[in-house]
Structure 1
């Protein structure tokens, strides 16, 4: 049975940032559950979710939060599953506060961290983690890489035509 990915956000206002991750995961055929939980407002619920995530069929947790951005760390503290943090840009410090809070974890509580608002890369990283034990998913990822390579080659061809016209 394939593992699921949890996409957890600290606030429903983070949802627009997470749409690319959700679409990417679903596009790869990965079962995805999306929830709102707060490290500060619902800490018991966040801890309970994380503690039971493996038993509930999850293989990776993606956590997005802005400002203090403690969500990924709180979830990581309560599980041995990989947790990927997405720092969310806020009006306060353009997401730098969230980036630093997400990436500066204490020893023993790792959180893989992507760029500010980097939801698509979080989904790809989650898929790569799951693909370690899922050959079908690994093939889908290889296909995605080939498509990216072909896209760059086409852009280069178009650029070369423009340069030749100068």
Structure 2
């Protein structure tokens, strides 16, 4: 059974979701991906939120980005919204950030499926030492990469 369910508002959101699946795979976290529209298939969204068995939801949506809120309204489990950029970038991010009181949705930056997956991993790591260790290793690797970049810049940039 998947621990994370990624719900896309439409198939066109798949490139953003693939950023999340790449991270989840690297942490050996089982996931599933589904397409369900908050406006065109609200019953399907509610059914997925209520019956999937997932521990964390990632909802990827652009435009009005109602999907994360609809998922959150149908479950008591954590929901992470990923706003998708488009012609009007602010509408999707503001829609997710400005949830009414009582139905919270976490929100990551535009198109940041990767950060949504990392946040899902952090949520799961609260009760999973193996994921917690992988997160620590991931952060250590990022720090090493920054140190290498700094050394390279120092060598190649003349002041």
Instruction: Give TM-score, length-normalised by structure 2.
Output: 0.96
2:12 matched to 1:13?
yes
CA contact (8 A) 1:3 1:130 kept: no
Question: In structure 1, the residue corresponding to 2:55 is in which secondary structure?
Answer: strand
- In 1, distance between residues paired with 2:86 and 2:139? 31
Question: In structure 2, the residue corresponding to 1:133 is in which secondary structure?
Answer: coil
Question: In structure 2, the residue corresponding to 1:90 is in which secondary structure?
Answer: coil
- CA-to-aligned-CA distance 1:50-81 (integer Å, 9 cap, x gap): 1223xx2x110000100010000000001010
Question: In structure 1, the residue corresponding to 2:83 is in which secondary structure?
Answer: strand
1:84-95 paired onto structure 2 within 5 Å: 84-91=80-87, 93=88, 95=89
- CA-to-aligned-CA distance 1:27-65 (integer Å, 9 cap, x gap): 110001000000000001101111223xx2x11000010
2:133 matched to 1:134?
no
What is the aligned-residue RMSD (CA, Å)? 1.2
Aligned to 2:102: 108
Question: In structure 2, the residue corresponding to 1:81 is in which secondary structure?
Answer: coil
- In 2, distance between residues paired with 1:16 and 1:137? 25
Runs of 4 or more consecutive aligned structure 1 residues displaced over 4 Å after TM superposition: none
| CA shift for structure 1 position 3 | 6.1
1:3-152 paired onto structure 2 within 5 Å: 4-53=3-52, 56=53, 58-91=54-87, 93=88, 95-152=89-146
- In 2, distance between residues paired with 1:6 and 1:52? 11
CA contact (8 A) 1:8 1:36 kept: yes
- In 2, distance between residues paired with 1:90 and 1:159? 34
Q: Structure 1 stretches of 5 or more lacking a match? A: none
The number of aligned residues is 159
Question: In structure 1, the residue corresponding to 2:64 is in which secondary structure?
Answer: coil
Instruction: Give TM-score, length-normalised by structure 1.
Output: 0.92
